[in-house]
Amino acid sequence: MTPREHDDLRPEPVRGLPENLPEGEEILWQGAPDWWLLAKEALSLYWVAGYFLFLFAWRTISGAAVETWADSANAASFFLALGGIVCALLILIAILQARSTVYTLTSRRVAMRIGAALTMTLNLPFRRIANATLAVRPDGSGTIALELMPDGMQFSYAMAWPHVRPWRMHRTRPALRCIPEAAKVAALLAEAAETAVNEPVVSALRPSDAVAAK
């Protein structure tokens, strides 16, 4: 389970992965966040827009006590303009994040190529994933959060944001955020993980170990 930084000048041998797949491993699904859902859920677009609308309404109403409604609304329009700029920046961030992200589900692991500015890949073998939780919206989109083994490698919340379960900062849970047909992807993940975890792990013994084991 390792984060890997990418060399931006080196093409990916496989889309979304820093290396070719080992023999016997296959890609089951690839996807990315929906940028509009990411803006609403991860970047709180509606809350930010509502905050600036509240400031506009508050300034208009309070100003109307000493000036006309039209003059008060005109003075308060500054908050609408500022809110529009902030919301446009949030949308741009969501688009860049969605376009730079590739979630990959293979027969052995979950890989997450993330980061708009500094790109890296999180490799999460099924044997290092303790649990997965699914949150589905009425339109079928949703988020799959992955709980890692406590003895495994951890990474910072800020490093993986927004591809994490919100507000779980002590033990960061990487997440496939805002993906379409989340339930189908979760079913694929569950089936592949069960198959991989139940496979026996065969380790080669040195001749001296083999003799000692007799």
* Over residues 156-169, mean pLDDT: 86
76: its two tokens: 């308060």
Domain hosting residue 71, numbered range: 38-97
Tens-place pLDDT, residues 129-155: 989 999 999 999 999 999 998 876 677
End-of-domain residue from the set 72, 97, 122: 97
- For residue 3, give the 3-state DSSP assignment: strand
In a domain, 44, yes or no: yes
Rounded CA-CA distance 159/83 in Å is: 27
End-of-domain residue from the set 97, 120, 135: 97
End-of-domain residue from the set 70, 97, 124: 97
Helices (H) and strands (E) in the chain, counts: 6, 8
Please say whether the beta carbons of 68 and 79 come within 8 A.
Answer: no
- Examine the pLDDT at 117 and tell me if it is beyond 80: no
Rounded CA-CA distance 163/144 in Å is: 10
Tens-place pLDDT, residues 51-87: 999 999 999 999 888 888 888 899 899 999 999 999 9
User: What angle is formed at CA 163 by the lines to CA 129 and CA 45, rounded to 5 degrees?
Assistant: 145
User: What is the pLDDT at residue 202?
Assistant: 53
